[in-house]
């Protein structure tokens, strides 16, 4: 049965955007969604009707003529899809007599030229689409699902946020331990080098047997002081580096977003608390002394 659209439906389709207009036309024809891969034939069918409808509207056909064009193109598509091209031309000639009376002398040749340039030019393609069933390829894959052997251990499981937090926290601690070990090794080498230099200078001074001048003594004393000073400086540098890296790792651990399940984060005491001075205890006054003081005061009076 050929499609018969009302003039109001044709107006609504032409006023809508292209995709919305095709969806509205598909709903009028009770067709499934055009986006589904299994309904590509319906998508081609709706495109064909929609293109003919919009062509008639753009060429200024009346709404009655637009509806007649849709009915005509639907009929030739359904009735000639199983015929050869010569039979389709003969069928088109027979159906065009009634259409020419509706379209008139101006619009009929315009529309027939359009049919020859679209439908008849691609007749074999339309015939193949609407007569050959399309092979639908659906991949089938069997998957084996294995459940946990002992689900009882799930009671001791942790939320994902807690697990990720603990993993990041432990990673920072491991990195801190590695840096600490490297610092200790480097510190030991630095101090060992400084102490070796100091011993060499002291041995150099102790090995001197000849009397020394005042300038030479001053020079040797300067070398000894310089060696001890460099040793102290190296120790101070190592201590400063230790404090800086410790603070950096503490800050990194503190800045981690802590899950609410773990409660408030621990606080780091950066400075040791100075102990409060203990108050001195005054010895209690004896009652004898009190009586003596009171007696002396009364005699003075």
The residue among 56 and 265 whose pLDDT is bigger is: 56
Predicted model pTM:
0.45
The full set of domain ranges for the chain reads: 7-131, 159-261
Tokens of 22: 């095709």
For residue 296, the model assigns a pLDDT of: 53
CA–chain centroid gap for 112, Å, is 56
Q: pLDDT digits over 67-99, tens only?
A: 888 888 888 888 877 778 888 788 788 878 888
Backbone angles phi, psi at 173, to 5 degrees: -65, -40
Could you tell me which of 44, 51, 45 has the C-alpha nearest to residue 14? 51
| pLDDT band at 301; cut points 50, 70, 90 | very low
Q: pLDDT digits over 12-70, tens only?
A: 888 889 888 888 888 888 876 666 556 678 888 888 889 999 998 998 889 998 888 88
Could you tell me which of 101, 137, 136, 96 has the C-alpha nearest to residue 119? 96
Backbone angles phi, psi at 2, to 5 degrees: -70, 155
pLDDT at position 128 over 60: yes
For residue 287, the model assigns a pLDDT of: 53
DSSP code string of 115-164 = HIIIIITTHHHHHHHHHSPPPPP-----------S-GGGGGG---HHHHH
């Amino acid at each position: 049965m050929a499609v018969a659209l009302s003039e109001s439906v044709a107006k609504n389709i032409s006023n809508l955007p292209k995709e919305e207009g095709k969806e509205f036309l598909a709903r009028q024809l009770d067709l499934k969604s055009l986006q589904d891969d299994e309904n590509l034939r319906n998508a081609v069918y709706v495109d064909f009707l929609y293109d003919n409808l919009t062509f008639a509207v753009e060429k200024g056909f009346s709404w009655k003529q637009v509806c007649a064009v849709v009915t005509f193109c639907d009929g030739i598509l359904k009735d000639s899809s199983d015929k050869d091209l010569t039979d389709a031309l003969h069928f088109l000639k027979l159906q065009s007599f009634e259409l020419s009376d509706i379209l008139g002398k101006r619009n009929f040749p315009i529309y027939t030229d359009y049919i020859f340039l679209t439908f008849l030019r691609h007749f074999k393609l339309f015939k193949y689409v609407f007569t050959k069933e399309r092979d639908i390829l659906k991949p089938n894959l069997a998957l084996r699902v294995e459940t946990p052997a002992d689900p009882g251990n799930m009671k001791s499981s942790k939320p994902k946020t807690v697990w990720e937090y603990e993993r990041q926290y432990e990673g920072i601690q491991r990195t801190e331990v590695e840096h600490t070990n490297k610092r200790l090794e480097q510190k030991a080498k630095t101090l060992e080098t400084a102490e070796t230099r100091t011993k060499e200078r002291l041995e150099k001074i102790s090995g001197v047997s000849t009397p020394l001048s005042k300038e030479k003594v001053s020079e040797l004393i300067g070398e000894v002081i310089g060696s001890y000073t460099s040793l102290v400086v190296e120790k101070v540098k190592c201590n400063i580096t230790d404090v800086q890296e410790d603070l950096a790792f503490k800050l990194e651990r503190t800045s981690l977003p802590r899950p609410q399940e773990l409660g408030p984060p621990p606080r780091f005491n950066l400075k040791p608390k100075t102990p409060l001075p203990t108050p001195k205890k005054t010895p209690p006054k004896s009652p004898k002394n009190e009586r003596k003081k009171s007696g002396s005061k009364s005699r003075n009076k």
